[in-house]
Structures are given as C-alpha cells and as structure tokens.
Amino acid sequence: MASLKPTFITQVAEALLLTSGCPSVRSVAETLGLSEVQARASLEALALANAIELKDDIVCVRSRAELAAAAIRLGGDPERVSRRLDWRDFEALVASALQEAGFSVSRSVRLPGRGGLEVDVVGASGRVAVAVDCKRWSYRSSSPSRIGEAARRHRLRSQRLASIWGSLGLPRASVLVPALVVLREDLPRFVEGVAVVPVLALRGFIEDLEAVADEVGIRVA
C-alpha cells in the first residue's frame, strides 16, 4: 500500500467534496493526477474513519462534514478542506444524527421578538432537548475568543428558547442543552455554559446528553 501522505488526503477530500454522486476510485485518481494506488490509500483511510463508503471501487460520501473532519484528523490541510463546506452540511449532519438517535428534530427554529433570533437545529427526546448552533468555521477562524463570543450568544439564545418552549409547539422537555458543533477538536468541552462538540464527537455527545444536561442544562419553562 502507498504511504498515506497529508497532501494526498487533502486532495482526495477536496475532490470528493466537490463531486456529486459516487465516483469510482479511478475517476478520483484521474481527476487529481494520482495513481490509483495513491488515491486508494487515502480513500481506504477515510473509509476506516467511517467518513466514506468504499465498495467495489465505488466511493460514496456518508457525510460531507464528517469527511472533512476525518480528513483533517488524518493530516489533511484544515483550511483547504474546511472551505469546501458550508453551514448546510453541518445542519444536515446534526439533524440526521439526532434523528438516528430517536430525537424529534426541528431546523431553523425562529424565536419571536426583535432581532430575528434563530436556532439552527433543535432536538428533543424524553426529558432532554438540545439547541445546536452549527459553526462551519475554518481552523484559523475558530479562535478561542471567537468561540467564546459565539458560546455567550448561543447561551442567551438558548435561555430565550427555553423560556418560551411551550409556546413554539415543540415536544415536551424539562431541560435544554445548548451546544456548538464545530470542526476543530482541540477546544474546551464547555465554554460559557455551552457544550462545544467536534463533528467527529457528535454521536458520542448525543449518547451522553443526559450527563451533559447535568453540566450545562437550562430548565425549560
């Protein structure tokens, strides 16, 4: 097997993020000017990270956001990879993960009043609900100060949501967890009373939501 080179991981991830449908290994290699052996090494690594499906030499992307995060973890260039994503990729991933876990999900939940406040994704299951702000920021843009400001704003937005929960027709819940979903993996777990969740840790976060609610949960009115 060819050695796994960060430059190849970056190129392959970018190509897949720019491609619709499920290309073949050969077409990915030809697009990038790589040998099939070189392209396959990167694709197999991404498949082992559960970011893509690789079967019978056909490549299908499971989740664009998870693909980008896995490529970065494998050494791909964070700036080049992350700029191929947009906020819709993150929202779709969060909504899908919550639905798979049995949550009722609402997207783009608008809060009445001045300011046009909106929560990207809201999920509820049993007593626990989660309000997610999806931040498709590059590594360079995800500075601690910027994350801190985003967390402060989202905590306030989530408190507002919790206070009017019953009037919005959302499923019953007793505690709301505010969360930021981000690409970076080297940030604190909690910032300003908000859970900071790397994309690749999203499913584990959902599984642990009851425990997280004890840390940063907001009582629902």
72/189 Cα distance (integer angstroms): 19
Domain architecture of the chain: domains with CATH: 6-82 (1.10.10.10), 87-219 (3.40.1350.10)
Quote the pLDDT of residue 3.
Answer: 61
- The candidate with the shortest Cα–Cα distance to 188, out of 219, 143, 157, is 143
The β-bridge relationship of strands 175-182 and 218-219 is antiparallel
User: What is the model's pTM?
Assistant: 0.81
- How big is the CA angle at 88 (ends 53 and 84), to the nearest 5 degrees? 65
pLDDT confidence of residue 57 = 94
Q: Which amino acid is at 53?
A: E
> Is the pLDDT confidence value at 1 over 60?
no
Decide if 72 contacts 81 (C-beta within 8 A): yes
In this prediction, what percent of the chain has a pLDDT beyond 90?
71
CB 179 within 8 A of CB 195: yes
pLDDT at 206 over 80: yes
Token pair belonging to 76 = 């791909």
- Coil, strand or helix at 180: strand
